[in-house]
Chains A and B, each alone.
Chain A
Amino acid sequence: MFVARSIAADHKDLIHDVSYDFHGRRMATCSSDQSVKVWDKSENGEWHCTASWKTHSGSVWRVTWAHPEFGQVLASCSFDRTAAVWEEIVGESNDKQRGLSHWIKRTTLVDSRTSVTDVKFAPKHMGLMLTTCSADGVVRIYEAPDVMNLSQWSLQHEISCKLSCSCISWNPSSSRAHPAMFAVGSDDSNVTYGGKVQIYEYNENTRKYAKAETLMTVTDAVHDIAFAPNLGRSFHVLAIATKDVRIFKLVPMRKESTSTGPTKFEVQIVAQFDNHNSQVWRVSWNITSTLLASSGDDGCVRLWKANYMDNWKCTGILKGDGSPLTGSSGQPTAMSTVVGSSVQTSQNALNGMSAGRIGKRAPFAPPLRQLTSPKINQHPAYY
């Protein structure tokens, strides 16, 4: 892999979250400087900041996009105990020419008494629903019944998880085979309090969410959690960032016809990686759930892939090299496009040679003259 481009984000403090929109053409960044920035990708692949505004009175932890069926809508959550919903207003023509857009606040959700640690939209088939979780251990689910009026949100569910919450993830599957489901992770560090991941399921009869499962084997603080896209499977896959990376398989067990409670699951651990050698802070799946990325205390991002036999392996590492990019530190310029550490010769096309890689590489080819060459160390296409 190589760094194709670097963008001077120009936040005045640490960035806590970066979020791509559904089509990968826009991105939102949020920071301890209390602001959110929105970036648009132009046709030639360059990023332009089209909006930057103060959103909260504390560090902004997460920012997320609603599905484009609902328009251009963002949600953010902050240390200031609130979450907010923002909508882009189609601006005046001269604004458009300058490449700027305006975002206005549609609502502030003030129910939490502590820092709001995560904010996520529910899958679109459930309507426009927003979920927050807080350090006070409460998960709140809000709904905007009228999609055209984003200033009206009602608190539909308030679920007390008893432990301080750090992350939520909805099961993205829209299959009718199972009810709506989300997972909550807790960063409570007291290991005697048992499972730090709880799974909640919607009950059609009671019209409420009930706890379906607690993953008792996860006893350390959980920092991030992510359901994998479903791909038509009958079971669910959940990745967890805790003191290591863990992937669980949740297999729904057959329900008795008389049972009205939540689904029972058979919980299997599919993989566990402690390569980060330290706390793992984020996990996230790519669109087809064929790759999982994790970020840890070791300052690396690791990529994990399963082969067709379902064996998981690390297939790549992104490591901060501790050296600043020349010419971009502290410059408030729009863009510094750096074609990373690789020379874009067409020879890279199939072979993927990059000058930034560790170790020498010999061409993968029948030797034309030489008879011996050093062994190559390729990025494997793990199959």
Chain B
Amino acid sequence: MEEVDVEPAVTNIPAASSGTHLGFAWGPGDILVYETLYKASGKCTGSGDIHEVRKDEDIYSPILRKLFNESHHIFVGLQTIREDLPSKNKKPQFVSISKNYRSVIRACMEELQQVVSILLAIELIWNLCEVLFIDAAPAGSLLLHLLDWVRLHKADVDEKAREVLQSESPAEHRDYWDVVVSYVLQGRLEEARQMLVKQATLQPAARKMYKQMDTLNISPGGTQTLTEFDVKWRHWHEEVDRCLQDNSFASNKHLELICKILVGDEDTLLEHKDLLSTWYHFLVTRLLFCHPTVKPTELHYYAQSCLTMFLDSRSVPEPLDSILLAAFEFDIHQVIKDCSIALNNWWFVAHLTDLLDHCKLLQSHNLHFGSNLREFLLLEYASGLFTHHSLWQLAVDYFDHCPEFGRVYLELQIERVPLDTERKALKVLRICEQRQMSEQVRSICKIMAMRALRNNRLGSALSWSIRAKDAAFATLISERFLQDYCARGTFSDLDLIDNLGPAMLLSDRLTFLGKYREFHKLYGEKRFREASKLLLSLMTAKIAPRSFWMTLLTDALPLLEQKEVSHHIQLIYSRLNCLCVSISHLDNVVHCSLHFSAYL
């Protein structure tokens, strides 16, 4: 399997002059490009513009968002299918999942007519992959599936038929025979017969054809074995051939044409390229009338020759053609590769490869990187989602199911989600906490705390620091609270401080803040005994910062007037005596203690 060498696409950047360099800076989902000069040169008159360059995939389209959202559900469901089920139980589930993906594609197609052509192609490829790889139809039912496949993607016949039938005299409508022939080409013989009925009343010869087609209503599958069917089919084929040889339909060129088609005459089929419109339709028709018991392994011979026969010598196969051919060759790897090249959105290859990997189809190839390929594609797809302001949440599940690199990719990218609002930050945090990404949790909380602090929202800053378990920062913010108190005489954010609970123990300063506030509460409730006890313990425990001793002393003063606490106050006084030796504001304390002693 050789590498297809595709030239990189060139994007033009409007630049003021040639001969300049281009500088760049990577951003989330884009790259900024600007004119510059990396070597010294003369002065220039001004700077150019800065250009935001994005990849073409427009993941911001609301329709695609629907595609991404719905396929996300299917993806997650697929990952949870139990490994230990026997494969015969799993196959129907995989087929069902494949059909679910396809129905999502069709749902999007209905909503967005312009994108239909791309989605049609994707659905065409996916459908063929489902038939060949996932459902793995054996000879017999293989042809039936392929017929379904072709019919699904050639809906214009029904439209034409409707037009014809609604006309006054259907058998004389100019498209009449086109419709009949199209039905025959698609193996829809019952419908062809019904059309012919209109003709049969006009021409007796048609009745014979009518009868002939009746006997053709045999199809592989059902209760008969493949061999039984084969015998029946050969017999029928000979009959049709005989009709042709003995010129039964010579009088009516249309009927003769149909007979030739039924016998599988290549030249006749090729004369109707306009009705077939694609080489794969030609392939399936040819198989239907020449080799209905075709085996999966034989498909690619027919496919290649049909492609060659159908395209005239001037035209070149298109990417879609190579992809379908690779599928007929059962070269899954080539299909994935060609799809990656032809479509520059990872959605399709990521989801299809994941499903194929679950079906264990990638491993059966001689490639040891089967599961790595799946992960590679999922990581690419999910990384692309991550730059979107709301789709990034879908990406999380994808990373979760990439065992090798999913976690580290998630860690790297989730840190970069802009924390525009507190609500968004909490959402991001919840995701990190659920996955024990403790460093990311800490970092996000720290960023929020810092932001709050810069905007002087001390309460918010404190609560984020607690969540970050950042003792140093909690200390810093507690200091600010205390400074605020000293300056204004009141606390801000009382609710928060009152309800710290065990978080109070994060840092000494924070504990002090909590307890000090408690002291104030007790005093306000006139519970002087408890208040003074608390005050004493604050001083004893040595968690009061030095800068606060003066304030504590001042707080103790009014308590002196309360008789029931004199014992405590004495203790405070004696404690202060011990403490004041090391205080630098010695004279202040001496004054204060003199004041105290006056009370005792």
Interface residues of A (CB under 8 A from B): 1-20, 22-25, 27, 29, 31-33, 68-72, 88, 90, 124, 148, 174, 223, 229, 231-232, 279, 281-282, 284-288, 290-291, 293, 295-297, 299-303, 307-309, 311, 313-325, 328-330, 336, 340-342, 344-354, 356-358, 362-369, 371-373, 375-383
Contact = CB atoms under 8 A, between A and B. Distances in A.
A95 to B, nearest CB: 13
Nearest to B280: A366
Contacts of A6: 14, 49-52
Contacts of B7: 377
* 7 tightest Cβ-Cβ pairs between the two chains A and B: A352-B56, A320-B15, A365-B117, A372-B315, A24-B28, A11-B47, A281-B38
A69 B14 CA distance: 37
A2 B56 contact: yes
A362 B316 CA distance: 13
B357 to A, nearest CB: 13
B24 A284 contact: yes
A10 B34 CA distance: 12
Contacts of A345: 114
A321 B114 contact: no
Nearest to B445: A69
Contacts of B416: 22-24, 287
Interface stretch (B233-241, B370-378, B566-574, B575-583): B370-378
Given A320-B20, A367-B278, A8 B273 contact: no
A169 B74 CA distance: 43
23 contacts: A4-B53, A11-B46, A13-B44, A14-B47, A23-B28, A70-B450, A71-B451, A223-B38, A231-B408, A291-B26, A302-B8, A316-B11, A320-B22, A349-B64, A349-B118, A351-B118, A354-B11, A366-B124, A367-B277, A372-B314, A377-B6, A378-B343, A381-B346
B81 to A, nearest CB: 24
Contacts of B3: 311
B35 interface: yes
A7 B52 contact: yes
Given A70-B450, A376-B318, A321 B15 contact: yes
Given A375-B316, A377-B7, A17 B23 contact: yes
Contacts of B412: 229, 231, 287-288
Given A286-B26, A379-B55, 17 more contacts: A10-B47, A223-B38, A282-B23, A287-B416, A291-B26, A295-B38, A299-B15, A301-B31, A321-B13, A329-B48, A341-B12, A346-B61, A349-B118, A352-B56, A378-B343, A378-B344, A380-B340
A281 B24 CA distance: 11
Interface string B117-141: 1111110100000000000000000
B28 A295 contact: no
Of A309, A382, A383, most buried by chain B (CB within 10 Å of CB) is A383
Nearest to A8: B49
Interface of B: 3, 6-38, 43-58, 61, 63-64, 112, 114-115, 117-122, 124, 153, 156, 273, 277-278, 311-312, 314-316, 318-320, 336-337, 340-349, 369, 372-373, 376-377, 379-380, 383, 405, 408-409, 412-413, 415-419, 439, 443, 446-447, 450-451, 454-456, 476
Dominant SS among interface residues on chain A: loop
A173 to B, nearest CB: 11
A297 B15 contact: no
Contacts, number: 369
A364 B11 contact: no
Contacts of A12: 46-47
Contact of B383 (A288, A295, A362, A365): A288
B27 A9 contact: no
B340 A2 contact: no
Contacts of A279: 38
B37 A308 contact: no
Contacts of A380: 6, 8-9, 340-341, 344
Contact of B273 (A14, A148, A371): A371
B11 A323 contact: no
Contacts of A373: 318
Contact of B344 (A232, A375, A379): A379
Contact of A1 (B9, B45, B119, B380): B9
Contacts of A17: 23, 25
B133 to A, nearest CB: 18
Contact of A346 (B37, B58, B341): B58
Given A2-B56, A4-B54, A352-B344, A377 B9 contact: yes
Contacts of B28: 20, 23-24, 287
Contacts of A8: 49
A23 B22 CA distance: 23
A319 B12 contact: yes
A29 B224 CA distance: 76
A349 B115 contact: yes
Contacts of A329: 16, 48
Nearest to A365: B117
B6 A69 contact: no
A322 B476 contact: no
